[in-house]
């Protein structure tokens, strides 16, 4: 991941999320882009960083940026968060291996929260992939599906159908 090594040598902060983070926690799956959690306050710095490397901004909203890569590179999506959210996720981030490159990824429990949040706003086949990621993260990372911390995350971020699915699959009371 050439771009990720460039990010690490820059003054910008990023945490691995999405499919590559799931893979780094031992869940086999495929992914076609690099998802990074970044600070909203660094939005313009990221824009400069990405365009200077030949990337083109494909889509932008308040919390997201999607970048089209130059030939031979990987597409990149940013989730932009405020300082309190960044601080919380950064404090529990873990060093993982992405290929031969060590990098910081959000903690598995926060990755579950991000997946639940995504399911709320992206129905269909993407939601099914996110659900499989959640189930496999719980298994691979030995998360207790009935722990108060994880149940609080599920209650906060899951929609009604996902709450039912979680309770049924993991045999827990919500």
At 162 the pLDDT is: 94
At 120 the pLDDT is: 84
pLDDT in tens, 64-73: 999 999 998 9
pTM attached to this predicted model: 0.93
Residue among 53, 61, 96 nearest 78 (CA): 61
At 1 the pLDDT is: 60
- Break the chain into its structural domains and give their ranges: 1-106, 108-174
Distant-in-sequence, close-in-space partners of 123: CB < 8 Å, separation ≥ 6: none
Cβ-count burial of 16 within 10 angstroms (0-12 exposed, 13-18 middle, 19+ buried)?
buried
pLDDT in tens, 32-68: 999 999 999 999 999 999 999 999 999 999 899 999 9
Measured at the CA of 25, the angle between CA 133 and CA 148, to 5 degrees, comes to 70
User: According to the CATH classification, is domain 1-106 in 2.40.50.140?
Assistant: no
Cβ-count burial of 7 within 10 angstroms (0-12 exposed, 13-18 middle, 19+ buried)?
buried
- Tokens representing 77 are 């999506």
Q: Which residues of the chain have pLDDT under 50?
A: none
């Amino acid at each position: 991941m050439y771009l990720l090594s460039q990010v690490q040598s820059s003054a910008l902060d990023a945490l691995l999320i999405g499919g590559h983070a799931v893979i780094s926690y031992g869940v086999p799956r495929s992914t076609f882009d690099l998802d990074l959690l970044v600070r909203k306050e660094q939005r313009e710095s990221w824009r400069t960083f990405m365009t200077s490397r030949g990337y083109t901004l494909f889509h932008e909203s308040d919390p997201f940026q999607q970048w089209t890569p130059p030939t031979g590179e990987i597409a990149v999506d940013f989730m932009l968060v405020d300082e309190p959210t960044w601080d919380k996720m950064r404090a529990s981030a873990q060093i993982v291996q992405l290929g031969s490159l060590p990098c910081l990824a959000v903690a598995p429990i926060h990755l579950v929260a991000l997946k639940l949040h995504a399911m709320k706003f992206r129905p269909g086949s993407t939601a099914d992939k996110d659900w499989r990621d959640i189930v496999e993260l719980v298994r691979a990372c030995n998360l207790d599906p009935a722990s108060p911390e994880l149940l609080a995350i599920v209650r906060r971020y899951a929609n009604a159908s996902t709450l039912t699915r979680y309770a049924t699959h993991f045999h827990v009371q919500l």
